[in-house]
């Protein structure tokens, strides 16, 4: 058994070229990260070669598959993204949202999500 104190897992600001709004990332393992979004903050469009699972820990948020409708979710929900699927995710306009992101492989970052896409 290995115990890692939370003090050894510091959160860091997410890169501004891949996110809109203040976001903090806390790597927990090589395949698990806790991400916290301020209200309205979101990722850019991106893909994962092996898909991604989001376990929503707190708050409420939004996600969208390219070309699909915006989906709303809340704490306790699970969002599953298929391998290679272009998507984004983030907080609802009026809520801080935190999720655990489970994925393998390198994320492929694309263009930023416009305010129109976020609001649709």
Task: Give the distance from CA 86 to its chain's centroid.
Answer: 13
Q: What is the pLDDT of residue 29?
A: 87
pTM assigned to the model: 0.92
Q: Which residue, 18, 81, 17, is CA-closest to 51?
A: 81
Checking DSSP bridges between strand 19-20 and strand 42-43, what pairing results, if any? antiparallel
Does the domain made of 12-114 have the CATH classification 2.60.120.10? yes
The dihedrals phi and psi of 57, each to the nearest 5 degrees, come to -90, -40
Render pLDDT for 61-81 as a digit per residue (tens, 0 to 9): 999 999 999 999 999 999 999
Half-sphere exposure of 22 (CA within 13 A, CB side): 5
- The C-alpha angle with vertex 34 and arms to 69 and 4, in degrees rounded to 5, equals 165
Please report which residue ranges of 1-120 form alpha helices under DSSP H: 115-119
Does pLDDT of 4 surpass 90? no
Q: Which residue, 37, 40, 50, is CA-closest to 80?
A: 50
Domain positions in the chain are 12-114
Render pLDDT for 18-65 as a digit per residue (tens, 0 to 9): 999 999 999 998 889 999 999 999 999 999 999 999 999 999 999 999
């Amino acid at each position: 058994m290995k115990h890692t104190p939370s003090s050894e897992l510091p959160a860091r600001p997410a890169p501004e070229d891949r996110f809109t709004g203040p976001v903090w990332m806390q790597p927990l393992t090589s395949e698990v990260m806790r991400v916290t979004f301020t209200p309205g903050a979101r990722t850019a469009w991106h893909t994962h070669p092996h898909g991604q699972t989001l376990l929503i820990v707190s708050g409420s948020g939004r996600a969208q598959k390219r070309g699909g409708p915006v989906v709303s979710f809340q704490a306790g929900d699970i969002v599953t993204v298929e391998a290679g699927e272009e998507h984004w995710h983030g907080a609802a306009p009026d809520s801080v949202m935190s999720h655990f992101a489970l994925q393998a492989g390198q994320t492929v970052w694309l263009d930023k999500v416009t305010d129109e896409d976020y609001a649709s």
